[in-house]
Homo-oligomer: A and B are copies of this chain.
Amino acid sequence: MRQNHLFAPTLREAPADSEAISHELLLRAGFIRQLASGIYTYLPLGWRVLRKLERIVREEMDAAGAQELLMPAMQPAELWQESGRYSVYGPELIRLNDRHDRAFALGPTHEEVITALVRDEIQSYRKLPITLYQIQTKFRDERRPRFGLLRGREFLMKDAYSFDSSWEGLDRIYWRMYEAYATIFARCGLNVRPVEADAGAIGGEGSTHEFMALADIGEDTIASCTHCDYASNLEKAIAGDRDASDDLSSDASTSQPPLPDDEPSNFAAPPSQPPQPEKLHTPDIRTIDQLTAALGIEASELIKTIVALVDGKPVAVLVRGDHEVNEIKVRNYLGGAESFEMADAETIATLTGAPVGFLGPTGLAIPVLVDAAVARMSSGIAGGNERDYHLRNVCPGRDFPLDNVSDFRNVIEHDPCPRCAEGTLDFHRGIEVGHVFKLGTKYSDKLGAKFLNAAGQPQAAIMGCYGIGVSRMMSAACEQHHDDNGLVWPLAIAPYHVHILPVSVKDEAQMQAAEQLYETLTRQGVEVLLDDRDERPGVKFKDADLYGIPMQVVVGKQAGEGIVEFKSREQAVKNTITIEEAIDRIMEKMNSIG
């Protein structure tokens, strides 16, 4: 491609509304332009990157035995009503009526459509397992679109769905997809970490992983072990039950195994009990910070009580003063509740009689969920359910019931690892670029996707779903691969492989050498951008660094002698070499593309 003709307008300044470096650089380098909030046009360079990502995804999905198809964006509302998600999905689901007033949704995902398709077309176990995928534009009306392609309203996804006759089969394809994903992200040059995650609104049983591209801008927090390979999304991460304040040098063999959710008897009150609760006068002291300051204690000695309406029903949740309630764990504990709302002051007063800031766990008439870390305390300080009073010596099991003990909190940094006896949890930020879910029979049950099994009995298909945010990968790659001068594309997804920069287009020897190199490389399948613009060298070099094409060849004064400057965009070191050597280096790098 000759740059004179390329539609890739660059901007010298960062656009005012760019909130992430990837967003800024993709705009400045002319890869994307915003049409509306969270809605972007991919200009030719951006589109080339997107297509390369698409191709790598497609190759690995095909290699993993998945078959590509294409489903519509417009989905009849009836299907979403059948699955029960039409009301649940909320305002993120874009709804519209056709000219006959029939309701449709614009697909943010395709579980309903694919399940209905397989229901209608597959009747026998002999046709299973099957994995189908598509690479398609999705729509989701984000409340707050931001960070360019990272959180958009119209975006490119690869979504795959597997259908099996057995759970073992689902497990096989799940891990096959997991491996394919690892390969895809590696081929694209992305530093991605698979983490355990909660299935969330999409629902379903069994294990679930998210693939997180590590980046500070990431909206998700990953907790990963300093010692073993445990890594989890914050939503799902659990702490080991070694006390966080344990001396980490203590004998690892004394550590207990991870906390089982269903054995509250582990947490019976210890034999020697502290004295009875005692009132503390704490006038106007309502927050954890005020309380620790006034009493000269650590937040970890406090028991925090919150009241929430879960699917409209009130529950109290107790966590330690230094911990935060994890809504998802609470919802999951309560049978997969769909909503979780903090109760307001008035509701709390009605339910418990306690004024704001003085709510405590004693004598509550609503169900009390106790986080395991609280259950392990011998006693703590808690609200007194009376204005200006707290209680000390509040004792789990004695002063409040331990009928519902589980993990109800977010982990905090340096919590013990739940898997190994040695490590603690570190926090990182990540961008979710992929996920693999075991859906089980959630959708096949609701939509009636049954097949006849080997015994001739109707059975619901066992499903998995597997997504990759293709356009989001583009931004994630930029977050991971840039420097002060611009983008630095991994070779496999770069819009072009080589950028040829003749210093002066008026110099005949330079242009002849540049054109010849362009032809030679193009013939060998190298994608080359030739900057044939009559611009000052400084402008050309600045634009070249901004575009981030991985190999630059500067054709300058020594062109007549067959000498050029070769620069890897990544290393920023210029090598003055012969044209033949430059070609060799380029072809060598080309061979490294997977």
Q: Is A489 an interface residue (CB 8 A)?
A: no
Q: Is A299 an interface residue (CB 8 A)?
A: no
Q: Is B70 in contact with A42, judged by CB distance below 8 angstroms? A: yes
Which B residues are in CB contact (< 8 Å) with A72?
35-36, 39-41, 154
Which B residues are in CB contact (< 8 Å) with A65?
5
Partner of A33 from B36, B47, B117, B153 at Cβ < 8 Å: B117
Q: Is B70 in contact with A41, judged by CB distance below 8 angstroms? A: yes
Which B residues are in CB contact (< 8 Å) with A99?
91-92, 141, 143
23 contacts between A and B (CB under 8 A): A5-B67, A5-B130, A6-B67, A7-B69, A7-B130, A35-B71, A35-B113, A35-B116, A36-B76, A36-B102, A39-B74, A41-B117, A43-B69, A44-B67, A47-B68, A50-B70, A73-B137, A73-B154, A74-B153, A91-B99, A94-B96, A94-B98, A98-B141
Q: Is A553 an interface residue (CB 8 A)?
A: no
Q: Which residues of A come within 8 Å of B, CB atoms?
A: 5-7, 9, 33, 35-36, 39-44, 46-47, 50, 65, 67-76, 91-92, 94-96, 98-99, 102, 104, 106, 113, 116-117, 120-122, 130, 132, 137, 139, 141, 143, 153-154
Q: Is B67 in contact with A7, judged by CB distance below 8 angstroms? A: yes
Partner of A47 from B70, B92, B113, B121 at Cβ < 8 Å: B70
Q: Is A42 in contact with B69, judged by CB distance below 8 angstroms? A: yes
**Complex Cα spacing A69 to B33, Å:** 11
Q: Is A44 in contact with B71, judged by CB distance below 8 angstroms? A: no
**Complex Cα spacing A99 to B142, Å:** 9
Which B residues are in CB contact (< 8 Å) with A6?
67
**Complex Cα spacing A96 to B141, Å:** 12
A96 to B, closest residue via Cβ: B96
A132 shortest CB reach to chain B, Å = 6
**Complex Cα spacing A6 to B143, Å:** 40
Which B residues are in CB contact (< 8 Å) with A91?
99
Extra contacts, 11 of them, besides A36-B75, A41-B70 (Cβ < 8 A), are: A7-B69, A7-B121, A41-B71, A41-B117, A42-B70, A44-B69, A46-B69, A73-B73, A74-B139, A92-B99, A99-B143
A199 shortest CB reach to chain B, Å = 25
Q: Is B40 in contact with A69, judged by CB distance below 8 angstroms? A: no
Which B residues are in CB contact (< 8 Å) with A116?
35
Partner of A154 from B39, B74, B113 at Cβ < 8 Å: B74
A499 shortest CB reach to chain B, Å = 17
In the complex, the 6 A-B pairs of residues with the closest C-beta atoms, listed nearest first: A96-B96, A91-B99, A42-B70, A44-B67, A9-B121, A39-B72
Q: Is A33 in contact with B73, judged by CB distance below 8 angstroms? A: no
**Complex Cα spacing A104 to B154, Å:** 13
A173 shortest CB reach to chain B, Å = 13
A35 to B, closest residue via Cβ: B72
Q: Is B33 in contact with A121, judged by CB distance below 8 angstroms? A: yes
**Complex Cα spacing A500 to B74, Å:** 37
Which B residues are in CB contact (< 8 Å) with A122?
9
Q: Is B96 in contact with A35, judged by CB distance below 8 angstroms? A: no
